[in-house]
Amino acid sequence: MVHFSAEEKAAITGLWGKVHVEEAGGEALGRLLVVYPWTQRFFDNFGNLSSASAIMGNPKVKAHGKKVLTSFGEAIKNMDNLKGSFAKLSELHCDKLHVDPENFRLLGNVLVIILASHFGKEFTPEVQAAWQKLVAGVATALAHKYH
């Protein structure tokens, strides 16, 4: 089980309170699809993904990104029980969606980069360390029910 110190929790929730989930979610998913183009295979029915600007402007990407990041926000409320929080989503991603768990780590990295670009200096090394721990914990939790 991943354990977060009080300082780490404060660093995470403090920043999260300032995140525009809808905008950041769309950006995170969009960047995943641009930077790691093979991930587009999971989104066949999303329409136009033919260029970076098409991807970033695609309304289905934005909507799904918002959904994904909202779910992430739920995790932040349950940092001490990530495996429990993500048990159902883990089964879904394994049994129905067939997503390679490596992609959860990639999305986590993209999220960290977005936070870095939005918050600049405020994204200090300590804040970054706390967030990297969280995204790694979420990725592991999502991979947990794989078989």
Under rule CB under 8 A, residue 56 binds a copy of itself = yes
Task: Please report whether residue 119 would count as binding a copy of itself according to CB under 8 A.
Answer: yes
132 interacts with a copy of itself by CB under 8 A = yes
C-alpha span between 50 and 30 (Å, rounded): 12
The region of 15-23, 68-76, 93-101, 106-114 touching a copy of itself under the rule CB under 8 A is 106-114
Minimum gap (Å) between residue 96 Cβ and a copy of itself = 28
The residue type at 3: H
Euclidean distance between CA atoms 47 and 59, whole angstroms: 9
Considering only 14, 78, 124, 146, the residue that binds a copy of itself (CB under 8 A) is: 124
Q: Does 10 bind a copy of itself (CB under 8 A)?
A: no
92 binding a copy of itself? (CB under 8 A): no
Considering beta carbons, is residue 21 or 56 the nearer one to a copy of itself? 56
Q: Which residue, 43 or 119, has its beta carbon nearer to a copy of itself?
A: 119
Q: What is the CA radius of gyration of the chain?
A: 15
Angle of helix 59-77 relative to helix 21-35, nearest 10 degrees, comes to 110
- CA-CA distances (angstroms) from residue 75 to 46, 127, 138? 26, 17, 8
76 forms part of the interface with a copy of itself (CB under 8 A): no
19 residue type, one letter: V
Nearest CA-CA partner of 63 in 114, 108, 27, 107 = 27
Give the angle 114-117-121 at the CA atoms, nearest 5°.
130
Examine residue 128 and tell whether it contacts a copy of itself (CB under 8 A): yes
Give contact residues for a copy of itself (rule: CB under 8 A). Answer: 30-31, 34-35, 52, 55-56, 109, 112-114, 116-121, 123-126, 128-129, 132
